[in-house]
Structure 1
């Protein structure tokens, strides 16, 4: 695979760098630097989202027919790499990368006109209502019920591990509309207004002290039938399409390499620590090649090679390796774990040393979830064993 950039691609990289230099404000960069979780919070990322939307680059991974810029795989890779290197905030993917593609693929014209512009503008912030107590990896066993009454569904149940639901005004959810058929066939895909009577959000604080996750209780919540995406019973098919965007594709390696660069610049690594950093870099670079090869295969109209099934698994291991290296590299300075959030707030207590040291403990604890969310490592290994190895 030829990875040398053409003159046109080099010119595009220069354009991206120029845009980032102008559009990324000090407040955005500071907020991103002091983010200990997976995604930045709205007060950090919404301004960045608005800048990208105004430029026409927000949904760069959407097809042109759906409002994307029509970039090829290499341009998407260049853009992601430059954004992470510049320290741009990480945008939550629940709306842009998950429900957005669902809407332009399965949604009707009215749903697309109503929801896609509001998603891009930041008016709508989305949460994902999939997992339930006892129904995480075995998602088909979900028990949240949606019973049709006239022009509404009446929804009752509970969702858990709902990322950033405390900020969301909309949630896309899998619900059971038919309990008499095979589990997967009785599931539908609903869009739920979080301001509806009967919706309650309760926080789940991570071991790191971060508030990223929530429980969402649904008690006789009335949802218009017009908010059903696709047909009744099509939810499982839509969910599989959505999870392909969550579990695979690109976006892991550029951020991993950028974070490793920031760590090695913030401290001096010698001996065994330097060896670990080198091994992590090699693994991240190998992951980057796998992601690029997969992108090119898809762009050429070919199904992705079975190697792509390992992307999320490897990314989880590298992420946890980087955060473990930070703990060991900073020693006592890495044991700071202020209870106050967010770290970027004006009245937040000062951290000791560079941000990489001050946030090391929070990031280490937060990264334990990488081998759980988006499909546990055990689930990923099972998928690889069945689909790639044939076991």
Structure 2
């Protein structure tokens, strides 16, 4: 054929074929995908500070140890309320013309998945302390310390964010530990990572490979050689919602998070203040150096039965021994939230 003897025709044909193939294989599917994947209602694009924080997340190599994908397997239930779908990533856009910060789904979980960390751990103070020294809040953590994201100052300016680090983890530092702009941005980005509730009527993906209903029923049937477990495990709920700050021994962290062991609020027979703090958060001890407690119960959509289980766990452990509460007690207290505020006592 003449085309094989004419290099101009040969290269022109090859170029046209390449452009045509590129359109059908890459450009066309990209446009189709873009038009068919709208962000979920309620999802928000990153603001300027959060976008800067994402860049810090990438620069510090966090993606090497943390995923951002809740898979549809039973073992991933601890990381999110549902498996991720494509629409969860539809709000992610290019940083600029030259850089495309794609989804940071990751491939390894040396550390926990971060898809829903903004809901699991909404406390700014916890994140700053965790970045400065991970062992201060999670004793078993293998995460490196990111101390370079903080400045040491003799005096803090009014707008400075001072991190209250327990003395055992200060490593001889005597000045004020202040979060830099990079630390502020990184924490803002981490707190922005939240799963959005799917619209009503949209099928919710299921977690696969969990126990079937028959297996669960058999496991909870007396006489089958398995001890019946309570429906709401206070110890497990405390571990997943409260332990990262107040610690497994209930003693908190001196100068950072108050203790529940021996707390007047926990020992009070009237659970109103304790339930209110769990559901609405608390900032009454900021002047003492403690951080603001977020509204854990509300943020994590805890049921009254789950709140009651947490309250009873706190009231019956670490030497605490106070009156147990019921789910009905919790419901009655929550029902009063629309009424004039109750004065919350100090823990």
Scaled to the shorter chain, the TM-score interval is: under 0.3
Larger Cα-atom Rg: 2
Give the number of the structure whose residues are more often strand, by fraction.
Answer: 1
Give the number of the structure whose residues are more often helix, by fraction.
Answer: 1
Normalised by the length of structure 1, the TM-score is 0.26
